Amino acid sequence: MRVLVVGGGYVGMYTALRLQRRLRAELVRGDVEIVVVSPDPYMTYQPFLPEAAAGSISPRHVVVPLRRVLRRCRIVVGEVRTIDHARRTATLTTPATEEKGAPAERLGYDELVLAPGSVSRTLPVPGLAEHGIGFRTVEEAIGLRNHVIEQMDIASSTRDPEIRDAALTFVFVGGGYAGVEALGELEDMARYTARHYYPNVKPEDMKWILVEASGRILPEVGPELGRYTVTELRRRNVDVRLETRLDSCAGRVAVLSDGARFPTRTLVWTAGVRPHPLLAATDLPLTARGRLKCTAELTVEGVAHAWAAGDAAAVPDVASEEPGRETAPNAQHAVRQAGVLGDNIVHSLRGEPLETYAHRYAGSVASLGLHKGVAQVYGRRLKGYPAWFMHRVHHLSRVPTVNRKARVLAEWTLAGLFKREIVSLGSLEHPRAEFELAAGGKPFQDPNESF
Ligand SMILES: Cc1cc2nc3c(=O)[nH]c(=O)nc-3n(C[C@H](O)[C@H](O)[C@H](O)COP(=O)(O)OP(=O)(O)OC[C@H]3O[C@@H](n4cnc5c(N)ncnc54)[C@H](O)[C@@H]3O)c2cc1C
């Protein structure tokens, strides 16, 4: 029997991990095979991306290698393109099929776990596709870090006020935790860097702008802490613009709905997520918002042998008093749902009754830079250093594997003893550039120029 797990993120990895533990005997006998298909051979611990961007955690420690954790599973690096559940068949492309230009491969299965997560929700804003940068992957987080430090290099090496101004203007669109934490951490890092290493770039020369369409930011921590975060960011000279939208960023000029215009080389788009487009390429039922219709047992509604959880799944929130509510797309639900999902697959194989997923939202923690944060946990509200400390303790306890926990803790401890690392290694992204030039190739064009 083959269990196909689509996605190697929170749900995919934790479900496969649970199945690997609970079906150990069956896996050893060869009665069961677990196949995990994921475009990357690692799971990304997304809550650590802002700290990776700030340089507090190295990129390697933000990801968990799937082959190391899922030793009894077959890991396929590739992308599932379509699913014909009526025929229990998926099609997938791998780096090899793409290199050969071969058609997608077919893979049969008996049980399907569909967990491709979500993708950035974009809008048809002129210039966004050309100049925007997302903040969902470790590559984007590290790329953004290098880019911000590069802008400081550009600003410090020119007297041209236009170039300097655009280099030192950083616009973030979207005030959820991804946007606020990314801005908070990067602004903190950039201020430190300017103060210590760039004598001709003053922290007040930089413009950090947060654009949010609704009237509040960080809805995850509640209205009071959301207001506190606005005050705290404004105190740090961050220009927080509520009830404002980005109308255009064509020609590298961010034009806002309140009429403001900011020439900028940095536009970070963190304005929410939408369900993964793969879901529409299946014969499974979807809600009006495009998530998979699921039951509280994490089966896909009205369909046998199909399971889903996490950002891709509309799971009834049975712990909420509000009728018809779905569980929110966040890591807290994704991890817990994965455990129940794994157990339920085992129950169904053994003919046992299924468990219902019920979890009362425990609250959220958010970091706003070194020693700064907000937290709302089980109704208790924390600000500043205690919230930041809680954020670190919480995520250290949550990041998968003891190995990762030890490495992250070691990095945090060392960072407390030494000065911050502020080197920009943008050229790492183009390791052949120098050799190509030496060998007579064309001068290297920096793709960062586009954002
Ligand atoms: C910057 C940032 C910070 C966050 N911070 C927090 C936080 O502090 N607290 C919190 O609760 N939540 C946080 N979240 C949200 C949380 O990370 C998500 O809710 C969680 O990752 C959802 O888990 P998932 O398994 O559904 O999706 P993911 O973890 O995104 O996993 C989806 C997986 O599917 C893979 N995939 C995609 N397409 C295909 C395909 N075609 N075929 C096969 N595989 C595919 C992806 O590569 C990925 O591995 C944050 C998110 C971001 C971006």
Q: Is the CB of 116 under 6 A from ligand 1?
A: yes
Using CB atoms within 10 A of its CB, is residue 322 exposed (0-12), middle (13-18) or buried (19+)?
Answer: exposed
Q: Is the CB of 134 under 6 A from ligand 1?
A: no
Residue nearest to atom 51 of ligand 1 (CA): 46
Write down the H helix ranges in 32-176.
Answer: 49-54, 66-69, 95-100, 128-131, 138-156, 161-167
CATH class of 2-120+274-349: alpha beta
Residue nearest to atom 53 of ligand 1 (CA): 136
Residues 6+ apart with CB under 8 A from 65: 41, 42
**What's the pLDDT tens digit per position in 212-251?**
999 999 988 888 899 999 999 999 999 999 999 999 999 9
Cβ–Cβ under 8 Å, residues 309 and 319? no
Flag residues of the chain having pLDDT under 70.
Answer: 423-429, 442-451
For the chain, what are the domain ranges? 2-120+274-349, 128-271
CA–CA gap between residue 16 and residue 63 (Å, rounded): 16
Nearest ligand 1 atom to alpha carbon 43: 49
Ligand 1 pocket: which of 4, 38, 186 to mutate (most atoms within 8 A of CB): 38
Distance 37 CA to ligand 1 centre (A): 15
Ligand 1 pocket: which of 311, 332, 376, 390 to mutate (most atoms within 8 A of CB): 311
Q: 311 to each of 115, 327, 333, 397, how far by Cα in Å?
A: 8, 9, 9, 22
Write down the H helix ranges in 302-401.
Answer: 331-349, 384-398
Nearest ligand 1 atom to alpha carbon 13: 25
pLDDT given for residue 216 in this prediction:
94
Using CB atoms within 10 A of its CB, is residue 196 exposed (0-12), middle (13-18) or buried (19+)?
Answer: exposed
CA–CA gap between residue 426 and residue 1 (Å, rounded): 46
Nearest ligand 1 atom to alpha carbon 338: 25
Distance 333 CA to ligand 1 centre (A): 11
pLDDT given for residue 206 in this prediction:
97
**Predicted structure pTM score:** 0.92
Structure tokens at 386: 């205690």
Q: 388 to each of 211, 221, 364, 376, 421, how far by Cα in Å?
A: 24, 13, 12, 11, 20
Q: Is the CB of 331 under 6 A from ligand 1?
A: yes
Return the CATH fold of 128-271: FAD/NAD(P)-binding domain (3.50.50)
pLDDT given for residue 450 in this prediction:
44
| DSSP 8-state assignment for residue 338 | H
